Amino acid sequence: MDETLARKLRILADAAKYDASCASSGAPKRKAGADGLGSTTGAGICHAYTPDGRCVSLLKILLTNYCLFDCAYCVNRRSSNVARARFSVEEVVTLTVEFYKRNYIEGLFLSSGIIRSPDYTMEMLTRVAKKLRREHGFRGYIHLKSIPEASPWLIEEAGLYADRLSVNLELPTEASLNRLAPEKDGAAIEGAMGQIGERIVQAREEKRRFSPAGQSTQVIVGADATTDEALIRKSAFLYGSYGLKRVYYSAFSPIPDASSALPPKAPPLRREHRLYQADWLIRYYEFSPDDVAGASEGGMLSLDIDPKLAWALKNRHCFPVDVNRADREMLLRVPGLGARAVDAIVKARRHGRLRLDDVARLTSGLKRARPFLIAEDFRPTTLTDRLDLRATLAEPAEQLSLF
């Protein structure tokens, strides 16, 4: 690989890393054709982990980090002094194919700064995907960032080649968008999400390819004053209205060349983690946004305990829960019991009453679950009434503060 290309890669990978999404999941299982390259497994694969603990699954790069937009939180905003570079379509294709052949990556996650115009930029992104699919028979994963300001037919075309499309919301309220991302238009962003969502459903019905792994978005946490409750309500709305697969929460991170509108500070990693947990409760644990709101204080989730435990502590009258009799929905509310453990409990108890030892074999979270459940040979007595229960279950506050 020559040094010019390597330099571009360094700049354009650095410029892309603030996008939290790395998933290569959700695409229908595909195998390489006789002359083709690449497959998808459904669940996705993380090919490496960087020391920030994040997975490297896709080659996540920008086509260019030149950008005409001036979003205060973004390292690539036009007023930033960072080094700039631009890949050609062929260069991105070469990097993707060569990295893929060495089993470094699952595919490509391509985004771009807006250059010349949104339409021009979107066409370039689509051209990369099209070339990979057409000329290289590439069946690996392709995630394209859609430019919401681009003409709708360009999004239609992108969906034909991508496994996943995403449009980043970045800021959850119109007021924050106006202040921090003046060129962005909230209505255009949600309009594009609506279009993509509708086309995904339609294409599935017609057994046609259009972004088969769905769409996702990202919101930045900590760049504005939006509360956790508002973020979760927004996410629940996005999941419900546009059929989003994922909402990514990205703790606002210091960037090399910060804007005076958003001075750099340590990223709120713990808060980001709690938001993911709450999001998980909404998607897999039958929690409503109201439940999450009820588990928070003044709209903010506790940093020292997870939101499920926070909900349980505020709703002690619902516990303890009998593992041998409670319905699935209630078992899902027990701190320490994951969805898989709950399913295993429901199955296993058909064949005999479960003792605490049995439950221990079905979950790795028994220590946290114990105060909240009843087994054949176990009752937590007065434990749920103890005032210090929170303290005994809370994580040490500094655990994730790695500065």
* Distance between CA atoms of residues 72 and 77, nearest Å: 7
Which residue, among 376, 338, 336, has the nearest Cα to 355 in the 3D structure?
376
Query: How far apart are CB 164 and another protein at their closest, in Å?
Result: 18
One of 300, 391, 397, 402 touching another protein (CB under 8 A): 402
Distance (Å, rounded) from C-alpha 12 to C-alpha 16?
6
Q: Provide, rounded to whole angstroms, the least separation between the CB of residue 123 and another protein.
A: 10
Asked if 312 and 385 count as a contact pair (C-beta separation under 8 A), the reply is no
In the chain, the amino acid numbered 146 is: S
Asked, as a colleague might, if the bond just before 148 is cis with ω within 30 of 0, I would say no
First-to-last CA distance in the chain? 36
Asked if residue 49 binds another protein (CB under 8 A), the reply is yes
Choice between 168 and 296, CB closer to another protein: 168
Which residue, 209 or 390, has its beta carbon nearer to another protein?
A: 209
Element (DSSP H or E) covering residue 141: strand 141-145
Question: Which one of residues 23, 27, 59, 366 is an interface residue with another protein (CB under 8 A)?
Answer: 59
CB neighbour list of residue 177: distance below 8 Å, 6 or more residues apart: 170, 171, 184, 185, 186
Is position 361 an interface residue for another protein (rule: CB under 8 A)?
yes
- Under rule CB under 8 A, which residues in 176-195 are in contact with another protein? 183
86 binds another protein (CB under 8 A): no
Amino acid (1-letter code) at residue 383: L
Joined together, the tokens standing for residue 39 give: 């497959």
Closest to another protein by CB, 258 or 293: 258
Query: Is residue 367 involved in binding another protein (CB under 8 A)?
Result: no
- The tokens describing 218, both together, are 């990202």
Asked if 241 is part of the footprint of another protein (rule: CB under 8 A), the reply reads no
Nearer to another protein, 258 or 339 (CB): 258
User: Applying CB under 8 A, which part among 78-86, 275-283, 326-334, 386-394 lies near another protein?
Assistant: 78-86
Rule CB under 8 A: which of 14-33 touch another protein?
A: 14, 16-18, 31-33
81 binds another protein (CB under 8 A): yes
Please, which residue, 165 or 295, has the CB nearer to another protein? 165
Other CB atoms within 10 A of residue 26 CB: 19
Site for another protein in 254-293 (CB under 8 A): 254-267, 269
Site residues for another protein, 198-217, by CB under 8 A, read: 198-199, 202-203, 205-206, 208, 210
Name, in order, each residue with C-beta under 8 angstroms of 101's C-beta and a sequence gap of 6 or more.
37
